[in-house]
C-alpha cells in the first residue's frame, strides 16, 4: 500500500503542476525522492532512475526493464549508471505514474534513487566470489539497504548520502574513499570479522578522500556506526548553502580528529539510548579456499574461476553503458538457462557469475549473438552529458561514442585481469563519470578564447585532462593530476597520444596508473604538444561547436526549459559523484 500511495502522490503532483496549481519547485520536492529527473531534448520528458539492490538484477527484473523501455520510452536503450542503477530515458510526464506502477508490480522501485536521501548502496561486483575476500559483504549491504529504504532518518537529509561496500582484499572496485561511508571487509589479528570504515569522501569540484574512522570496526558495530554518521549529518549538515551541504564539508569544518570523535560519541549515545536497531547478520563464515590458482577457463577472454568447484564468472563490456531492450531480454534468457547471476559493475559493465565451467563455451556463443563482447584494453565510463543532463557543460556521450568507435580496439581484445586502462568522462565539474579516479580522466568545461585572433572572447567546449587517478600503492585513493585543457574536437587525438606513451613506456605487468606515477606527466605533455592549451589563432569555427553537433548550435547549451518547456528548473543527473 505504501508504494501505491507514493505513486498516487506523484500522479496528483503531475496534474497539479500541469494545471499550474503548484509550482515547478513544489513538484520537484515530490519527484526527486521518487527518482524522477527532467532531461534535455524534449518538452516535459523525463528519466526514471531505478534502484538495483546489490547491483544484481534477476532475469525477471531484466525483462521488466526491457518491457518498460519499450512501453514507455519508445524502445530507447537503458543506461547503466556508476551506482548500479538503471536509467530509462525519454518518458513523457503523463506516463510517469504508469511506468512507476509497472516497475513496482515487477519488484523494482525508483524510491530514493535521487534527492537528499540515502542513495542505492554500491556493492563490489566480485563480492562472494573473489579469491582474496575475508568474507562476503553482501548480507551486510543488503541488511543496511533494506533498513534505510523509506527510513525517516534518510528522507530529508541536507544533501545526498552514498554508501559503498568492498570485500576484495587488495583491490577497490567501488571507489570506497569517495563515498560518505566506505566499508571494507577485514579480519582482526585474532580472525574476527569486521570492517575498515572511511567517512566523508566525495568528488565534485572539491574532491576529498574519505577519513579513516578507526583501525577496526567490529561487524556488530557497523549498523550503529552508519546510523551515527547519518544522525550527525542530519543535525550538522549545511541546509542553507547547497554547494556545501555534503558530509565532507561537515568533516572539513570540524577537523578530522574532532569529526571522528563526534561519530564515536554519537554511536555510543545511540547504543545507550536504544540499543541496536539496525541488526546485521551473524559473523560471516570464512570463505572456502581458492582452488584454481594458475588456471583460466576457456571460451571467453577475461573469464575467471570463482570460489567453489567448477564455476566461472564472465565479464561483459557494455559500450557506453547502454543496453537495448532486446539485449536485456537475451541476457535474462542466457542467465536463466545457465542458472547464473547478473551483476552490474560500477564501471557500467556486467559480470555474469556462477556459470558452470562446461557451459562457458555455449554461453559465450549466446552472448556474442546478443551483441555482448569481452572486456577490451580500455574500460570506458561516461556520464550522461548535455545530450540529456540539464546542468552539464559538454556532450560527454558524444565524446565517449567517438572514443568507442575511433580509439577502442574492435573485436575481442583480451588483456590480463585488472590491466585495463580506465578512461572516464564527466561533462562538468560534478564528476558523475568519476574522471578524477581514472588513468585518463576528462572533464568538460566552457572556456573563453582570449587574446588576439578571430573568435576571441567566445566560449568554446574543452576537456580538462587528468592522468593517473585511482588506487595508490598503499590502497588509498589518488586523484588524477591535472594536465591541461584540450578543445573538444581534438580530444580523440589527445587520447591516442596518451595511449601511445602508455604502451611504449610501460613495464610488463605494470598498471597504467603505476606507469603514469613512475613517469610523471612530463612525457605526456610533450606528446600532446599543441593540443594542450592551443593559442587563439589555432582555433577554427569548428572548435566552437561541441561534439555531436553541427551548424549554428549554441555553446554552452541553453538552460533547460529555455525554449518553452512547461516545467523549467535545473537538476543534477548525478549517477556517480
pLDDT mean over 486-508: 94
Q: Residues 151-169: pLDDT tens digits?
A: 999 999 999 999 999 999 8
Average pLDDT, the chain: 91
pLDDT mean over 423-433: 96
String of DSSP letters for 18-31:
HHTSS-HHHHHHHH
Strand 421-426 vs strand 440-448: parallel, antiparallel, or unpaired?
parallel
Within a 10 A sphere around the Cβ of 155, how many other Cβ atoms? Answer: 14
Q: What is the pLDDT of residue 1?
A: 63
Q: How confident is the model at residue 41 (pLDDT cuts 50, 70, 90)?
A: confident
Residue 208 Cα distances to 83, 248, 250, 410, 440, angstroms: 18, 7, 12, 37, 19
Q: What is the pLDDT of residue 454?
A: 55
Closest CA to 469 of 423, 417, 420: 423
Q: Over 90: is that where the pLDDT of 554 sits? A: no
Q: Over 70: is that where the pLDDT of 266 sits? A: yes
Residue 336 Cα distances to 57, 127, 211, 287, 373, angstroms: 12, 20, 42, 26, 19
Exposed (0-12), middle (13-18) or buried (19+): which is 73, by Cβ within 10 Å? buried
Strand 163-166 vs strand 181-187: parallel, antiparallel, or unpaired?
parallel
For residue 327, what is the DSSP state? Answer: H
Closest CA to 480 of 496, 462, 497, 498: 498
Residue 232 Cα distances to 134, 158, 235, 265, 336, angstroms: 30, 11, 5, 10, 44
Q: Residues 287-301: pLDDT tens digits?
A: 666 777 778 899 999
Q: Residues 350-397: pLDDT tens digits?
A: 999 999 999 999 999 999 999 999 998 899 999 999 999 998 999 999
Would you tell me the crossing angle of helices 24-31 and 2-19 to the nearest 10 degrees? 160
Nearest-angstrom CA–CA distance, 68 and 107: 13
pLDDT mean over 548-567: 63
pLDDT mean over 412-440: 81
H/E element, 294 = none
Closest CA to 164 of 129, 214, 215, 202: 202
Q: How confident is the model at residue 403 (pLDDT cuts 50, 70, 90)?
A: very high
Q: Over 90: is that where the pLDDT of 338 sits? A: yes
Q: Residues 527-539: pLDDT tens digits?
A: 999 999 999 888 8
Determine if the peptide bond prior to 556 is cis (ω within 30°): yes
Q: What is the pLDDT of residue 452?
A: 52
Q: Over 80: is that where the pLDDT of 474 sits? A: no
Amino acid at each position: 500500500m505504501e508504494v501505491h500511495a507514493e505513486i498516487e502522490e506523484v500522479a496528483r503532483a503531475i496534474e497539479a503542476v500541469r494545471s499550474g496549481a503548484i509550482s515547478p519547485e513544489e513538484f520537484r520536492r515530490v519527484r526527486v525522492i521518487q527518482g524522477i529527473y527532467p532531461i534535455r531534448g524534449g518538452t516535459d520528458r523525463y528519466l526514471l532512475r531505478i534502484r538495483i539492490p546489490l547491483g544484481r538484477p534477476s532475469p525477471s527484473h531484466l525483462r521488466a526493464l526491457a518491457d518498460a523501455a519499450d512501453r514507455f520510452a519508445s524502445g530507447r536503450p537503458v543506461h547503466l549508471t556508476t551506482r548500479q542503477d538503471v536509467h530509462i530515458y525519454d518518458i513523457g510526464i503523463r506516463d510517469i505514474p504508469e511506468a512507476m506502477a509497472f516497475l513496482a508490480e515487477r519488484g523494482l522501485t525508483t524510491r530514493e534513487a535521487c534527492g537528499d536521501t540515502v542513495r542505492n548502496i554500491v556493492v563490489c561486483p566480485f563480492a562472494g566470489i573473489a579469491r582474496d575476500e575475508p568474507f562476503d559483504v553482501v548480507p551486510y549491504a543488503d541488511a543496511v539497504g533494506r533498513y534505510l529504504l523509506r527510513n525517516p532518518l534518510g528522507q530529508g537529509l541536507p544533501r545526498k548520502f552514498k554508501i559503498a561496500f568492498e570485500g576484495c582484499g587488495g583491490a577497490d572496485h567501488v571507489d570506497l574513499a569517495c563515498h560518505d561511508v566506505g566499508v571494507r571487509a577485514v579480519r582482526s589479528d585474532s580472525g574476527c570479522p569486521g570492517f575498515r570504515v572511511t567517512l566523508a569522501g566525495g568528488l565534485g569540484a572539491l574532491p576529498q578522500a574519505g577519513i579513516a574512522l578507526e583501525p577496526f570496526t567490529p561487524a556488530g558495530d557497523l549498523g550503529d556506526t552508519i546510523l551515527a554518521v547519518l544522525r550527525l549529518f542530519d543535525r550538522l549538515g549545511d541546509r542553507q548553502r547547497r554547494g556545501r551541504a555534503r558530509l565532507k564539508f561537515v568533516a572539513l569544518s570540524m577537523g578530522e580528529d574532532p569529526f571522528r570523535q563526534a561519530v564515536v560519541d554519537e554511536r555510543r549515545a545511540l547504543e545507550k539510548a536504544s540499543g541496536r536497531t539496525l541488526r546485521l547478520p551473524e559473523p560471516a563464515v570464512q570463505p572456502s579456499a581458492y582452488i584454481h590458482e594458475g588456471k583460466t577457463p576457456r571460451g571467453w577472454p577475461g573469464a575467471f574461476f570463482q570460489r567453489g568447484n567448477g564455476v566461472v564468472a564472465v565479464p561483459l563490456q557494455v559500450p557506453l553503458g547502454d543496453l537495448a531492450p532486446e539485449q536485456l531480454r537475451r541476457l535474462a534468457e542466457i542467465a536463466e538457462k545457465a542458472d547464473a547471476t547478473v551483476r552490474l559493475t560500477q564501471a557500467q559493465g556486467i559480470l555474469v557469475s556462477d556459470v558452470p565451467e562446461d557451459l562457458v563455451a555455449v554461453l559465450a556463443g549466446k552472448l556474442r549473438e546478443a551483441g555482448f563482447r569481452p572486456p577490451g584494453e580500455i574500460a570506458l565510463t561516461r556520464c550522461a552529458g548535455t545530450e540529456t543532463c540539464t546542468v552539464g557543460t559538454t556532450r560527454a556521450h558524444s565524446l565517449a561514442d567517438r572514443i568507442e568507435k575511433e580509439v577502442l580496439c574492435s573485436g575481442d581484445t583480451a588483456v590480463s585481469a585488472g590491466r585495463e586502462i580506465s578512461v572516464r568522462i564527466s561533462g562538468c565539474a560534478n564528476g558523475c563519470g568519476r574522471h578524477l579516479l581514472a588513468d585518463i580522466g576528462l572533464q568538460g568545461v566552457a572556456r573563453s578564447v582570449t587574446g588576439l585572433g578571430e573568435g576571441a572572447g567566445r566560449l568554446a567546449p574543452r576537456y580538462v585532462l587528468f592522468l593517473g587517478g585511482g588506487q595508490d600503492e598503499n590502497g588509498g585513493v589518488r586523484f588524477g593530476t591535472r594536465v591541461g585543457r584540450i578543445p573538444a574536437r581534438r580530444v580523440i587525438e589527445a587520447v591516442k597520444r596518451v595511449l601511445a606513451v602508455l604502451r611504449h613506456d610501460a613495464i610488463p605487468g605494470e598498471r597504467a596508473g603505476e606507469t603514469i606515477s613512475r613517469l610523471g606527466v612530463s612525457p605526456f605533455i610533450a606528446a600532446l604538444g599543441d593540443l594542450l592549451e592551443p593559442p587563439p589563432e589555432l582555433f577554427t569555427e569548428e572548435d566552437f561547436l561541441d561534439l555531436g553537433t553541427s551548424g549554428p548550435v549554441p555553446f554552452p547549451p541553453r538552460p533547460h526549459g529555455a525554449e518553452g518547456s512547461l516545467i523549467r528548473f535545473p537538476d543534477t543527473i548525478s549517477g556517480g559523484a
